[in-house]
Amino acid sequence: MAQLSEEQLKALNLKVQEIAKLPPEEQAEKAQELLTPEEMEFLKEQQAIRGQGGGCVFCGIAQGKIPTKVVYEDNDFIAFLSKDPANPGHTFLAPKEHIPILVKLPDALAGKLSILLRNISAAVFDAANAQGITILQQNGQAAGQTIPHMVFNIIPRFDGDKVVIDLPNTDLKEEDMLEFQKRIIENVKKFEAATAPGAKPEDAKPKKPIKFRGRGP
């Protein structure tokens, strides 16, 4: 097994993130350029481990094939400590089933999830003696999701900690705001109808991409 120090792992993570931003056809070339032979070897071994989880690291963890520090587990969900915590106590909560993004979560699990999020975030808050909690959930590569298995990050927060979640202010014209209000109201209704018993959630997917008037997307 290739062994990397924590520093080396962080450096590798940054490189992998840079590669993941590229279109798939450019990724192999960039990997050759950026990664050392040792890093390539390490990634291959990691992929082999993930293979035991059906190609997904969170499935591997849920099936107990990848060792991790579990803090909660039932038939549907598992919560475990992040190996690279943003702050001490950083915990992941994921469905055991391979559900790629939140919108694919069935109603039966969605209700349970909100109760677990409340309970586990309270447990993490107390255990870390935290001053706050950030709950972060990313859907899609553009949102920073790196593993296609939905997960909630439960991150204890402290005054002056190094976690940066920087939300820019985007100026929108009043007419654009009204348009978004209208579209979202309509889509909520569509989604409610599409997630009713017997319906398929895919039906609720907006059929055309959202465009901004007078601005690039």
Q: Which residues bind Zn ion (CB under 5 A)?
A: 56, 58-59, 98, 149
DSSP E strands: which ranges in the chain? Answer: 70-73, 77-81, 91-95, 132-136, 152-157
Give the closest residue to 108 by CA, choosing from 139, 153, 77: 77
The residue (of 56 and 130) whose beta carbon lies closer to Zn ion is 56
Question: Shortest distance, CB of residue 141 to Zn ion, whole angstroms?
Answer: 16
Question: Shortest distance, CB of residue 91 to Zn ion, whole angstroms?
Answer: 18
Question: Shortest distance, CB of residue 113 to Zn ion, whole angstroms?
Answer: 16
Question: Shortest distance, CB of residue 61 to Zn ion, whole angstroms?
Answer: 9
The residue (of 68 and 134) whose beta carbon lies closer to Zn ion is 68
Question: Shortest distance, CB of residue 52 to Zn ion, whole angstroms?
Answer: 12
The residue (of 53 and 89) whose beta carbon lies closer to Zn ion is 53
Q: Is residue 79 within 8 Å of residue 127, measured between CB atoms? A: no
Q: Which residue is nearest to Zn ion (CB)?
A: 56
What lies within 8 Å, CB to CB, of 132 at 6+ separation is: 125, 156, 157, 158
Give the closest residue to 66 by CA, choosing from 51, 84, 79, 87: 51
Task: End-to-end CA distance of the chain: give it in Å, rounded.
Answer: 44
Give the closest residue to 88 by CA, choosing from 69, 72, 66, 74: 69
The residue (of 98 and 112) whose beta carbon lies closer to Zn ion is 98
Q: Which two tokens mark 64?
A: 């107990």
Question: Shortest distance, CB of residue 56 to Zn ion, whole angstroms?
Answer: 3
The torsion region of residue 214 among left (phi > 0), alpha (psi -120 to 50) and beta comes to left
The residue (of 35 and 101) whose beta carbon lies closer to Zn ion is 101
The residue (of 134 and 145) whose beta carbon lies closer to Zn ion is 145
Sheet hosting strand 132-136, strand order edge to edge: 70-73, 77-81, 91-95, 152-157, 132-136
Q: Rounded distance, CA 135 to CA 118, Å?
A: 10
